[in-house]
Chain A
């Protein structure tokens, strides 16, 4: 046991917030001992350079046996597990040493070391739990077994809950809503309440696997019945429903900060931020001096303490061009320092942009730049690859049969954004074999075969009026086209222009096309001229305003398409 006063003294010594520790887990007061905590903090901060903010997130580490922590650290370092992953997952160090070794060996043998770098927390889970989950033969990505095992270990769910979900009618009817996250976090009773609710029937587009995994119907109902939702529906997405509470949203939307800077508040801000942190940020000296570095993403993901460390660092003074709002939102100064002090940065500075600093870790970059693949195909490695990809995925891609047969479809962007399983599904699909001309590197980088297949199965392409409109860019945007095309074709049929619509008509939004149709009709101008769609439909709105003085935005406000679109959207989602 340790008194709050003594704990505070220790925290001051190591520059840690006692409030954050106790608020997160007040067991530390009962289970902690002064000298043990001192010894552990000394080891974590002075020997391992672990940042205080990571310790604040995991108070239980402070009442663990320091020798057990040391044995675990030494073992994991020896086995080349990324230290950054351990640092942000400190609770794994509490695991009994023999159990950690057993789980480590089992996971590496059956899932590969990369899986451990992705789901490091599974190390705290006894291996029999992973085996129990494997026996369920879940229809999910293999690595999902580790996510679920980890969640069971934390007590978020148990095998019985998962079995109930798998046997449910809801799972049979909507398998797309059940991912490893849903199985790891939700209970069948809560899922049933959500899927049977009036809210789901009215707004299916707001319910995704994320919503099922994290939200409760009572909270969703409060949100959708709120005045705030009625006034700002554009701020509410499935992400907001999955992660936010109405009380926090209300505080945000009634704040002075929202009134003064509405552009900084998006659905993501509502989903992930809280008003107290935003207020600290917007009243800070740093915001006053560098407002350009603060966007809605910064508000959603960063905290002012980390931003201050970054903007007062020597690295920022030396390389301000490498620090943007994205860097502030996603990176930590400790990681940036490691990158800028590395041999790799000094040898290849052209591969390091603000994006690299914002998204990559030095360990991953080093593995990439020392790989055989980089030596053989340096042209496929750009700053984007370094920022978003990892070497294990790149190796899988470059050693695949698909790469050997179609190297022209693989660019640095494919390496950065896609994964080999999705690429293989695309290139082995019936759709690819029937229409290879519709597949470009852009398709491989962005689209999924499930969406492409739905798009190509749409009845429109058998219709002589529309078949010529199917291009590779439509396929690359398959996901949104599945819901957008029915609206556009329905509109074209209603106004009897379906024989004349062209690619431009499909590129623009339903709202824009609808507004122009109504404008032309009202001003007695033809929709079709000499057998072709009136050329105004092909104009970029800016060009239309400049050449003919037609303000598309004003027209959209005058002729809103909202209701009809929502109705079609619902039908499509269903």
Chain B
């Protein structure tokens, strides 16, 4: 997973410098790999719009995402791809 100049520009529009600087590449890579394994082919888009969630420890993110999968049902890949706002469900404690 490589962020190009345009990805970084979009990331800067979506998040403040402090949040971007908190990125832990290893943690994000683990989450990215997990998402890819779960068929989320647009995983990089999720990082750009929801970087704050990628700051969660990978184990916690995975736990929350598994809950999201249950809420969205079998077609979760398409549902999340077609309605970005569904990621909001991951903010619920």
A residues whose Cβ falls under 8 Å from a Cβ of B: 234, 237-239, 263, 266, 268, 295, 297, 324-326, 354-355, 382-384, 408-409, 411-413, 440-442, 446, 471-473, 476-477, 479-480, 484, 502-504, 507-512, 535, 538-543, 546-547, 553, 556-557, 565
Contact = CB atoms under 8 A, between A and B. Distances in A.
A382 B91 CA distance: 20
Contact of A538 (B6, B14, B59, B82): B82
Contacts of B15: 477, 480
A501 to B, nearest CB: 11
A167 B59 CA distance: 51
Contact of A503 (B10, B12, B19, B85): B85
Given A476-B91, A509-B10, A355 B27 contact: yes
Contacts of A326: 24-26
Contact of A535 (B12, B17, B55, B82): B82
A310 to B, nearest CB: 15
B66 interface: no
Given A446-B52, A484-B14, A543 B25 contact: no
Contacts of A504: 83-85
Nearest to A488: B13
A512 B24 CA distance: 25
Interface in B1-37: 2, 5-6, 8-10, 12-19, 21, 24-27
A268 B41 contact: no
Given A413-B56, A476-B91, A325 B25 contact: yes
A540 B84 contact: yes
Interface centre among B13, B44, B49, B91 (most CB of A within 10 A): B13
B43 to A, nearest CB: 8
20 contacts: A238-B17, A326-B24, A355-B24, A382-B59, A382-B60, A412-B57, A412-B60, A413-B60, A440-B92, A442-B52, A446-B52, A476-B91, A503-B85, A507-B49, A538-B82, A540-B80, A540-B82, A542-B45, A546-B41, A556-B6
Contact of A507 (B57, B87, B93): B87
B28 to A, nearest CB: 11
Nearest to B29: A324
A504 B57 CA distance: 25
Contacts of B60: 382, 412-413
The secondary structure that dominates the A interface is helix
Contact of B25 (A234, A295, A507, A509): A295
Contacts of B21: 268
Interface in B36-93: 41-42, 44-46, 48-50, 52, 55-57, 59-60, 78, 80-85, 87-88, 91-93
Nearest to B77: A543
Contacts of B50: 507
B26 A565 contact: no
B52 A324 contact: no
B83 A541 contact: no
A542 B42 contact: yes
B24 A480 contact: no
B85 to A, nearest CB: 4
Contacts of B91: 440, 442, 471-473, 476
Contacts of A440: 91-93
Contacts of B18: 479
B5 to A, nearest CB: 6
B4 to A, nearest CB: 8
B57 to A, nearest CB: 5
A540 B26 contact: no
A354 B25 CA distance: 11
B82 to A, nearest CB: 6
A509 to B, nearest CB: 4
Nearest to A239: B17
A502 B78 CA distance: 19
A261 B5 CA distance: 13
